[in-house]
Chain A
């Protein structure tokens, strides 16, 4: 339904691509990208890191949440070329030496997902939220995780999993 958008004024796409280096999970990826390639598409289609999901491409669902310099962002709302010198962490990079990140482990233990499609975004978002240091209560967890939609409705278990990692009492 994109025809509702105004027709582009430039009628031939510049074929040019430019080389950039994305550092993802500590590994440099040298990619040739059109400047309007989103970070999300760069990861999924060019770096073959498909763990980061596309759920809306409009910053409305949070499925594409990744960590850039430790901060959670929607990878669909930013261009890859803007992250040339940044440290990007995706779901593929959270486990260290084969050991799951505590949030990943808690998600399995609490069955905090069903179809699994929003899960990488939920987990990256939870890690980013913990980094932000704003959470005091379970209500804070619910509020600060509300940028990540889960259509399967796993929210109660997502909250339980995060509370366990943060040592919060989930019943309060």
Chain B
């Protein structure tokens, strides 16, 4: 029964969010709380030669200043500091020794009775350094890049496939060629909520940790390993997360510092980072890409070379899937996809919304547009000519479903693409140039194992729990819908809880996999509960279900009914009563069907159509209209899914036109580390936006047929915007963000 799945239910957590009742990590005001403020390094590379904390400690109300000199012992081996999203290498350890590995590295934690005192005393900590020259500029090292060290992470984010044919030769011989270099700098996630951990020090040292994280289980594992604490001595709670976009996939250093201080002081401690310190950990890495495409005269692609060079830290090999998408989108007999790294004196990059995907597609989808112009073809027609039903990067296997053609058709129709004059500079409004551009998007439809628990409570309501997260994606809402439908309950009688390590374990929330992963676990738990309830209902005196199989009944409106005779029914409350008035609980585990998965590539697709207005006098670009047509399997909730896609599109505008963390490479320091100088869209930057969900039926990806919508709204947008700017101005711009100086 699908009464709620597919319906635009309003967010079940909406009331708490609009009334200020939703509590985020820094908002659990536990009794007797102390406050920690972090002191950050001002050099990029070298060592601390002097750390004088005496003036800070002299302030009345300051409890302790933690540094590498007085920190407690923590785990010895690197493995103890690894989390569920650690790339190969040696994880950063806060306050470990006197070595400085990157600018903004935490060097001290000042803990005081009030936030005001801690902030004041942090300014009194005197640090002297011996600085060494630092190396942070990827552009200087394009010739010395190397292959990344492979690791477990590559299961989710594969390294490039083996080449096919002879791409270099085929490209050299191709009658029509397109070759260009694409550059973008670093970006920081900057969720609106800064990273914070409130650690409540309880009886016998039990720690209740309110953490900003995309996975409480991940935080728990990290803390218990790094500090060698038994699992049963720590609980991590995170009911609400004020945005994360990937930044919460790894435990950040405020968690480590807050736990360390709480254990040493035997007091509750909160450590919140400042907005400036949000530039002192992971980011989207600077990446330089070369894309070479060769075709026959009729536009058939004969050669693809896509090479990416990205920056990583000196201590970990962060990789992302940048180039593989090109092979998944475009067929070719000759393809070479390469991905290289350069270690620099920066912090390890970190998955940031559509990691790799938005990077790669921002390059290749511009290259495709430029190539279409060379061929005199409409960019949409070119894409249809080179449409593929098979994925050559994965042994030519088919896609589990792929309604990209329908995305093209429906998106183009809604946008009015057929009325486009391909000639650049052909459209004007007043003194502004108008341009129309489009691009293709692709993202993974992933699923990983997860667990959930479903309980029929004593009053006949359904309570479902899983230790997943809702970073604004709508997890609370869609899990409630799935649970309500699976057990045929009115949605108001269903409550879903998440973000607590006392619940069944779920993976970190990322990669657009939560709907499929946790959704399948919720379905499994509710299915199991349904079977249990049915078995119990059969034992009720004069049960109408004697001799009846599970498939012969329906769960509907809080009752079990016989399909062929709906008047034969047992209410779930009667089952609870039969159970002596006790709640009935079942757990469910969902595991991806690997055998089926291996036969197919599983991806969501999208097409973005964009109109820009360019003022050539000022070089300003306004995205006046944007439409995304999305094929992402079954859409559980069109309202929250639409918000996800629109959010992704706003990110696309930001990626194309606004955001960049600019580093002064002489000092290895970010120059625009606040929200005034790191530009992201404001309300006035965003105009007409629309989303089309294309119907797509997928029986392979997971039992729910969902593909996830967290990333797919973003990936196509930047290239569509860049292509629209070309159409408006006749100018190709190869470096993002396209700020006014590049347009003028």
Residues of chain A whose beta carbon lies under 8 Å from any beta carbon of chain B: 1-5, 7-8, 11-13, 15, 34, 36-37, 41, 44-45, 48-58, 60-61, 63, 90-92, 94-95, 100, 104-105, 107-109, 111, 113-120, 123, 139, 141-143, 145-159
User: With a CB–CB cut-off of 8 A, which chain B residues contact A57?
Assistant: 274-275
30 contacts between A and B (CB under 8 A): A1-B277, A1-B279, A4-B42, A8-B120, A15-B60, A15-B61, A44-B27, A50-B20, A51-B19, A55-B192, A57-B275, A58-B676, A60-B676, A61-B192, A61-B675, A91-B18, A92-B20, A108-B18, A109-B10, A114-B640, A114-B647, A115-B241, A115-B242, A117-B24, A117-B193, A119-B17, A142-B683, A145-B684, A150-B683, A153-B649
For chain B, the count of residues having a C-beta within 8 Å of the partner chain is 83
Q: Which of B18, B116, B122 contacts A34 (CB 8 A)?
A: B116
- CB distance A111 to B639 under 8 Å? yes
User: With a CB–CB cut-off of 8 A, which chain B residues contact A15?
Assistant: 60-61
A114-B640, A123-B18, A142-B683 are known; give 16 further A-B pairs, CB within 8 A. Answer: A3-B39, A7-B123, A12-B58, A34-B114, A50-B20, A54-B272, A56-B675, A58-B675, A92-B19, A114-B474, A115-B243, A115-B472, A117-B193, A152-B243, A152-B472, A155-B683
The smallest beta-carbon distance between A12 and chain B, in angstroms, is: 6
Q: Which of A2, A53, A56 contacts B123 (CB 8 A)?
A: A2
User: With a CB–CB cut-off of 8 A, which chain B residues contact A12?
Assistant: 58-60
- CB distance B684 to A108 under 8 Å? no
Residues of chain B whose beta carbon lies under 8 Å from any beta carbon of chain A: 10-11, 13-24, 26-27, 29, 39-40, 42, 55, 58-61, 104, 114-117, 119-125, 127, 190-194, 240-245, 272, 274-277, 279-280, 471-474, 639-640, 642-644, 646-651, 673-676, 680-686, 689
* 3 shortest interchain CB distances as A-B pairs: A51-B20, A153-B650, A117-B242
How many residue pairs between the two chains, A and B, have CB atoms under 8 Å in the bound complex? 227
The smallest beta-carbon distance between A74 and chain B, in angstroms, is: 12
Closest residue on chain B to residue A15 by CB atoms: B60
The smallest beta-carbon distance between A15 and chain B, in angstroms, is: 5
Q: Which of A2, A48, A113 contacts B39 (CB 8 A)?
A: A2
- CB distance B10 to A8 under 8 Å? no
- CB distance A3 to B684 under 8 Å? no
- CB distance B39 to A151 under 8 Å? no
Q: With A55-B192, A61-B192, A117-B24 in contact, is A152–B647 under 8 Å at CB?
A: yes
Q: How far is the CA of A41 from the CA of B245 in the complex (A)?
A: 26
Closest residue on chain B to residue A4 by CB atoms: B42
The smallest beta-carbon distance between B706 and chain A, in angstroms, is: 18
Q: With A111-B10, A115-B471 in contact, is A2–B276 under 8 Å at CB?
A: yes
- CB distance B648 to A8 under 8 Å? no
- CB distance B19 to A111 under 8 Å? no
Q: With A36-B116, A113-B18 in contact, is A1–B643 under 8 Å at CB?
A: no
User: With a CB–CB cut-off of 8 A, which chain A residues contact B29?
Assistant: 45, 48, 50
Most buried by B among A1, A15, A48, A149: A1
